[in-house]
Structure 1
Amino acid sequence: MKALLISIIALLTLAPAALGQAKKNPHGDISWECFDCHNTESWNVIKPEIAFKHEKTGFPLIGQHAKVACLSCHKNLAFSHIASACVDCHTDIHRGQFGNDCQSCHSPQNWESKHDVFELHSSKGFPLVGLHSIADCNACHINQQKNEFAMTPVQCRGCHESNFKTATDPNHTLAGFSADCQSCHQPVAANWNNSTYQHPAAFALHGAHAKIDCASCHATQFAGLSNQCVSCHENDFNATTNPAHLTFGFPTTCETCHDDVSWNRAQFDHLQASNFELRGAHINIQCIACHIDNQIHDLPTNCYGCHQNAYMQATNPNHSQGNFPQDCLQCHNESAWQPATFDHANTQFPLTGAHSTIQCIACHSAGYQNTPTDC
């Protein structure tokens, strides 16, 4: 009897413990119902849509986290004590370069989004602007182990030294340019050729000089070049034939006649040089039309001196037969040889009516002397 009583007491004592073990959740101290995830078919069958709201844990499933299998993060059945930091699941392939805050560059939506890479570069002293903002990361982060980005130089020459050494227009090495690329180039520029280099004030580049290649003047050197026009344009000076600069003894101070916009846009002061101002048609003719054989001395300045052939060949009226004066300006002007303005009123027969429109030769068929004046 005593043994039976002891057995009953033992059963009553162990029963609650056995019941407690039956109710212990294999997933740890969580308050989920089994049917939130499982069904009666099998413990291994997980419902396609789990009723449990993961955001209750303080770690909402967004982006790629919403698509992965539970066991990708929960390696055992104890769900309640899993860590929630990125590095707890994701190996730091950058080997501690950027700390443990993966979200400073990445987001749950896409591991490759790198949504804060611009802010990261700015914080490291190299903001991504201009063409750097669209360049591939590997274009700058080269010769390093995969996914290691530290120790990349932030100075331009660290990446662009080859550009510096191979530049030919101008030759940076020959010119002794500074290795500080930003003294001429800007990261925000659309391309490498947009330079802000300013030519020394002693020879500012204006007009045609602003458009030519540097090598046109700086063929072999940069320092010690003369800023006198003739130092570059001596061949042009010597080869010019209209007018022949050498023959005429023109000064080699090219800027006396030329500007830096165009070599052909000369402004020679003919009046000062010869006491013969170029007006009217004389402005547009070639120098050699008057300076035949490049003659510059002892040239006549009166009209007849150059236009004698025109005077002798005139037939309507015949100048030589009519004994016209050789002062051409009495009838002609410097703008055009024709029409002439002979004033017939200065003769004894002013032209009126129909006489004012007929050709001279109609009345002066036999010449201009002793022409009758009566009808």
Structure 2
Amino acid sequence: MKKLILVLLVVCCGVQISTQQNQIFSPTTYDSRWCNNNQDLTYEYRTSMYHFILKLFKSITVRGNLNVVFSPHSIWIIVAAIAEGADPVTQQKLFQLLTLPKEPCIRQAFYQLATSRVHPSNDVNIKNTRVWLFDDGVTVSPTWYDLVAKNSLLEVAKAPIKSNPVGTAKEIERIMSSRFPRLDLSGNSVLLDTMDYNGLWTTAFADAEIERAPFYNLEGEAIGAVDIMRIQRRVRMGYNEELRMKIMELPVGSDERYRMLFGVTIANHDFKTVVTDFNIDHVFDLIASLRPSLVPIDVAIPRMVITSDIDMKVIMEDLAVKDLWTDPAVTRYISNPPALPSSFVQRASLVLNNTGLSYASPEPATAYSTRTGLDPILGRDFIADRPFIFGLYDAKTWTCLLATAFSQPTYT
């Protein structure tokens, strides 16, 4: 059995492709040496990504029965890599879907921001793998590959998809750390994506403050039980009147370079409506609304492990990306023969527990009448004992690395 080998194609075929093969591919690329990316494009990049994130969020969470975790950040990068090599018509459609600018140098600046959000460390463990796996008989365009490799958009790999699909499926399972029973290997390539998170809070939840507690639906009915982690601490909170949702931020890591944002509705506001009504303004309004509390707030969130296997091909078809899987003209500038990915899958996992780098220092008791410094409707607590959303963010750019909807206590 041939063994799947991840290789940099610039080594194995970049200098081996013949002149005749080179003529097959289009030079639709840009020379990054002439880009001057000294300007700060963080806001433009973040806006571009969030337009796409919200489209994904609505489609994935509804299909996932409002109980799912996924990485919009990683998907955005993969689709950008595809767009950079797609035929002109499809390329423009994908650029519009991603809200990417036409100017190549600005896109490159966006890619540099996107691919530098995850920093390996001992206190925050985030593993992200993005691979386009091609059949052994496919030759990848060195021009396209050079672009995606230099911008760290994805890796390219070869496998005997056609000659040994069973062996290839086993190797994919090893790479993804998950088995996809319905993985389609009928095409000449597949897109693979993983994102795993396990990190330490900047301030830990005490072991003694974990209790088994009911988890409720929006009608107030107990539908299960979760391990609730409790702490009293000063936090940043905000409120959105239109969504009737309050937001809380908790820092992650030694230098607080990551943040978790939690959102829970009040007054029994319909959770599904919140998910489907989210827009770009809501995101930025919620972030801007965060204010530090002047007194410790009662915080309670479930301890959990969430893992989701998502058929991204179906999700992309929801977003009107249909020709990529069936029309050779779409990817004729990416490979020869043209890449026709039969699967696009993402496995995402997230661990929330009470461990942290330090414990909250006890604070003197304050009178209940002491002002919190927050919108009065927020009250003096954040209790996630009913459907809620949360996500992992990079603190510098507010890139959403992982997004989660939790409505059923099935992972505890």
User: Is TM > 0.5 for Structure 1 vs Structure 2?
Assistant: no
- Structure number with the higher strand fraction is 2
TM-score w.r.t. length of structure 2: 0.17
Q: Larger relative CO (CA 8 A, sep 6+): 1 or 2?
A: 2
